[in-house]
Structure 1
């Protein structure tokens, strides 16, 4: 091949790459637009304004199935007491709280023992799902529905499994110890189980950013937004994820993720599956994908639900270094799940999960991030070199950045119309501005973090990168 032929081949390759990047990004946005439209239709026709806790209590108190709330905790000495008080105060007819101290190196266990009058007791596990040793169990003298399990460190999945093994109730709620459930959250989550025909196995709820909110005594006192841009950008991301993606996917029976910060599950299904996997950093995604696989392999009818007005508040990374760790871990966990369950992809045996939901994860987590980031480089370069019509580069900018702004603003409008969780018009404008400017820098930085997550997956790096916390009300 001579030099001219080599130049021609290189130019053709650049053009093909440019077109491929454009098509992939456009396809992702078309799917997102379809999800936004489905979510809007669901809100308009199916989801009625949420009833108050008292109305729910009066209607369902006699039907409410007992629930065990499982809170894995690691080095939470600064907030564990207030968090447990909030869990004990949840408005629900019958619930037990199991705090699993996952080998904390600080005084988490001591704080629990002193603050709640804990004394060592013997509690037999119904199912031994964890891989590490249980050191002791403690029962509160003042709160008979509070149990503390002290165990060797094994990470969150192992701690959750230990709690599931000690639970005695038909439903279990797994949450992060540093998250805050609104007082009526359990009632709203359990409502779908109250009129279920036995097919419902899991319910998810919306996760919102607590940065900027006023938190006292382990409960939300006032909704606010962060003064920092990084948490504001994440507020927009979470709105898209929970009010657009989750609502649409639940409606089409393709819900693939129930957040690890809050999820309600039928305990018997979790035990039958062996609980959470220990060898992935994305245990929440893997669990739900495996639930689909487990039920379809056994040809059982089942469903999973999403209730958008269940709200769990969580602290988001306040700076880019914490966001870096979080997003790399999320990306790595998605790839580990896809590798483990690759046999489901485009497999008609798994119905719409295999033919639609799993390929969508492939598009979002394998093909999409590199294609979009490459597109920002290749299309302008190809246009400058005369290999591509400049209008093509402009069209790529439109389908990636401008279309991204439209989707974010559409989701914000949906939230304001249906749930109205943004406290003031000024805050709504601030979030709206964040929805626009996140597409100019923040979005591209996130793509880079996701590429780093792919690199971690390729290197089989299983180290746990912690996300720095500044505490509720400080970010």
Structure 2
């Protein structure tokens, strides 16, 4: 091959790569726009105005199924007392709280014992779903509905399974120990079960970032916005994820993810499935995908629902140092789930889950990150070298960056119109600025973190780096 032929071949290759990047990013953002429109329609036509906790209590006290709230905890000494107090104070007719100390190396267990007057007790598991050893169980002298399980470290999925095994209620709520449920959040999340005809197996709820909020005694006292930009960017991300993506997917019966920070499940279904898998870093996504597969393989009619009201507040990484491990882990978990359930992709046997939902995950988590990151490099370079019409590079900038700003601002407007949980106009402007600025640096850094997750997947790296925390109400 001559040098001239090589140059022509390389130029054609660059153009095809640039074109593929443009198409993938445009398709992904086009789907996001459709989701935003569906979510807006759902809010306008289907979601009734929020009721107060007192109204919900009077309306559903006799219908509410007992719930066990399970909080896996690993090295959570900074926030575990506040989180547990919030769980005990939930406005719900009948609920038990099980905190599972997953072999913490800090003082998590000691802090719990001292703060709640715990003493050792004997409690038998109904189903042993965990693979590690349970050491001891404790009950509180002051709070009869509080149980603490101390076990060998096995990561969050194993800790959640241990808690499910000790639960004795029809419904279980799995949350992160660094999260705070709103006082009426459990009632709101449980409401779909009160109208259920037996088909509902899981419900997710909207989650917001607690960084910058005032939290005292385990309860949210005042909503605020963090002073630093990294948590603000994550507020915008969470709004897109919960008020756009999940509202739309739930409406289309294609909801594939219930956040590990808060999820409400029918306990019998979890036990039937064997609980969470222990061999994945993305246990929340894998569980819901497997739930769809399990129910459809058995040809059972079922529903997985989503409550757009905010039910939970969680602490987000305050710095990029904590964000990198989190996002790489999310990406790696998505790839593990896709590999494990690849037989569902484009399989008509699984209906809209196989034909719509699984291909969307493929687009988002396999093709999307490398295509966008590569596009930022290839298209401008190709335009400068004269290999590509400069308008193509401008168009890519529009569909990625400008379009991203539009989606974020649209979701922020949707939240303000329907939920109005941003405290004042100043904070709303700060979030609006974050919705624009995240597209100039933060978004690209996140793509790099996701590429790190892809590398970890192919290296079969199952190591787990804890996300640094400063404690709820201190960020």
**In which range does the TM-score fall when normalised by the shorter chain?**
over 0.9
Identify the residue that residue 413 of structure 1 maps to in structure 2: 413
TM-score with structure 1 setting the length: 0.99
Distance in 2 of aligned mates of 1:75 and 1:27: 41
Distance in 2 of aligned mates of 1:106 and 1:430: 36
Distance in 1 of aligned mates of 2:447 and 2:81: 37
Shift of 1:388: 1.1
Distance in 1 of aligned mates of 2:423 and 2:88: 27
Equivalent residues, number: 475
Identify the residue that residue 474 of structure 1 maps to in structure 2: 474
Identify the residue that residue 447 of structure 2 maps to in structure 1: 447
Identify the residue that residue 385 of structure 1 maps to in structure 2: 385
Structure 1 residues 398-449: Cα deviation after superposition (integer angstroms, max 9, x where no partner): 0000000000000000000000010000100010011001101111111111
Shift of 1:111: 2.0
Question: Are positions 1:73 and 2:56 aligned together?
Answer: no
Distance in 2 of aligned mates of 1:108 and 1:372: 41
SS at match of 1:438: helix
Identify the residue that residue 273 of structure 1 maps to in structure 2: 273
Identify the residue that residue 293 of structure 1 maps to in structure 2: 293
SS at match of 2:440: coil
Identify the residue that residue 222 of structure 2 maps to in structure 1: 222
Distance in 1 of aligned mates of 2:375 and 2:77: 46
Q: Do 1:329 and 1:465's aligned partners in 2 also have CA atoms closer than 8 Å?
A: no
Identify the residue that residue 83 of structure 1 maps to in structure 2: 83
Q: Do 1:119 and 1:139's aligned partners in 2 also have CA atoms closer than 8 Å?
A: yes
Deviates more, 1:465-474 or 1:229-238: 465-474
Identify the residue that residue 198 of structure 1 maps to in structure 2: 198
Distance in 2 of aligned mates of 1:83 and 1:474: 13
Structure 1 residues 60-117: Cα deviation after superposition (integer angstroms, max 9, x where no partner): 0000000000011112223222221111110000000111111112222222222222
Distance in 1 of aligned mates of 2:109 and 2:365: 38
Root-mean-square deviation (CA), in Å?
Answer: 0.8
SS at match of 2:186: helix
Task: List gaps (5 residues or longer) in structure 2.
Answer: none
Structure 1 runs (4+) greater than 3 angstroms displaced: none
Q: Do 2:178 and 2:472's aligned partners in 1 also have CA atoms closer than 8 Å?
A: no
Distance in 1 of aligned mates of 2:78 and 2:323: 22
SS at match of 1:328: helix
Distance in 2 of aligned mates of 1:82 and 1:154: 24
Question: Are positions 1:43 and 2:64 aligned together?
Answer: no
SS at match of 1:14: helix
Q: How does 1:364-383 map to 2 (within 5 A)?
A: 364-383=364-383
Distance in 1 of aligned mates of 2:149 and 2:43: 41
Q: Do 2:68 and 2:168's aligned partners in 1 also have CA atoms closer than 8 Å?
A: yes
Distance in 1 of aligned mates of 2:216 and 2:185: 18
Q: Do 1:92 and 1:187's aligned partners in 2 also have CA atoms closer than 8 Å?
A: yes
Distance in 1 of aligned mates of 2:233 and 2:77: 29
Distance in 1 of aligned mates of 2:188 and 2:310: 6
Distance in 1 of aligned mates of 2:71 and 2:316: 18
Q: Do 1:209 and 1:315's aligned partners in 2 also have CA atoms closer than 8 Å?
A: yes
Identify the residue that residue 157 of structure 1 maps to in structure 2: 157
Structure 1 residues 356-390: Cα deviation after superposition (integer angstroms, max 9, x where no partner): 10010010001010001111111111111111111
Distance in 2 of aligned mates of 1:232 and 1:134: 39
Identify the residue that residue 237 of structure 1 maps to in structure 2: 237
SS at match of 1:265: strand
Q: Do 2:79 and 2:472's aligned partners in 1 also have CA atoms closer than 8 Å?
A: no
Distance in 2 of aligned mates of 1:317 and 1:341: 30
Q: Do 2:78 and 2:470's aligned partners in 1 also have CA atoms closer than 8 Å?
A: no
Distance in 2 of aligned mates of 1:146 and 1:12: 65
Structure 1 residues 234-271: Cα deviation after superposition (integer angstroms, max 9, x where no partner): 11000000000000000000000000000000000000
